[in-house]
Structure 1
């Protein structure tokens, strides 16, 4: 028996399906089912097919009026604008699984001892270069791996330690 989708993942699924099938952007719920959906936060939406990433787009800080709108915007972008993948086509919709990460406000890290790749995501910044990696990702087991991957995403040399590091927590919904 399938696990029922959370409000967050159901909204992401509805947004992707409406956009891919009809090029329509759904409206956010008028009365969000949970207070969290009416708050403002950064949101990442990940799409997978058979356990493999199919798209992931997000914002580390809020860009819309509420989390529900942020989920809709980022779900559509994950399905259609992730530069690593071609846009999702209607025939794939039945195979996609969704996860939604709602981010806490980032906080500055003074020492890498304050990091834990299972608990915290990281944002690494150097000038205009910025990379973000979510927490609790399969295959990312150490702080060194987490920072190396995040620096690579930002276009920063892995040995360059002249960076600002921020950490954040997520509430992950599947």
Structure 2
């Protein structure tokens, strides 16, 4: 079932991502996990955090499976990584902070891809895995309109040739977009 993007100004996950990046860039510190932790942020989830500047991707990092003990902690560490560890971009500078908008994708329903014909890249993401190699393409990625395009990009990101046998997994995301006028509906 497709999930619609929640466009929000004050979503707690967006606010937490922004706070984490601002604190890390301005003070070189990691913001504390909220206490008490809201119930909806206690369970671990895989997430992706995208930073958008002037309508263009400025950083995106994440994992389909959680690496931290809670969603809140995952948002903090993933947002910081998107700001300073995306190898496609230089680290975010302090003078850029006010220009950034945030997108948080909470990964849901990760499962083996069983029916390629029913796979819609606008609704479902794709993960290609072979050993330690993996490539992920989020749903509704910019320029991706077919399963084959999504598969090719996932294989490329996994550094695999298209004829290499690999496990294909599909997933959906609950996309939360900061309403600022400075975002894009698709991510890369």
Q: Which category describes the TM-score, using the shorter chain as reference length? A: over 0.9
Match of 1:170 in 2: 173
Distance in 2 between residues matched to 1:116 and 1:128, nearest whole Å: 26
C-alpha offsets along residues 47-99 of structure 1, whole Å, 9 cap, x if unaligned? 01011111111121111110000000000011011111111010000111100
Give structure 2 stretches of 5+ with no counterpart: 1-6, 178-188
Task: Give the secondary structure class of the aligned counterpart of 2:51.
Answer: strand
Task: Tell me by how many angstroms 1:111 deviates.
Answer: 3.1
Q: CA RMSD in A?
A: 1.6
Match of 1:84 in 2: 88
Task: Give the secondary structure class of the aligned counterpart of 2:128.
Answer: strand
Change (3 A) 1:161 1:112: farther
Match of 1:72 in 2: 76
| Aligned length in residues | 171
The answer as to 2:7 corresponding to 1:22 is no
**Maintained 8 Å contact 1:108/1:167:** yes
**Maintained 8 Å contact 1:9/1:100:** yes
Given candidates 86, 95, 106, the residue that maps to 2:99 is 95
C-alpha offsets along residues 107-160 of structure 1, whole Å, 9 cap, x if unaligned? 0112312421111111101232110111012221111111111111011123x1
Match of 1:128 in 2: 132
Q: TM-score, normalised by structure 2?
A: 0.86
Given candidates 8, 12, 17, the residue that maps to 1:7 is 12
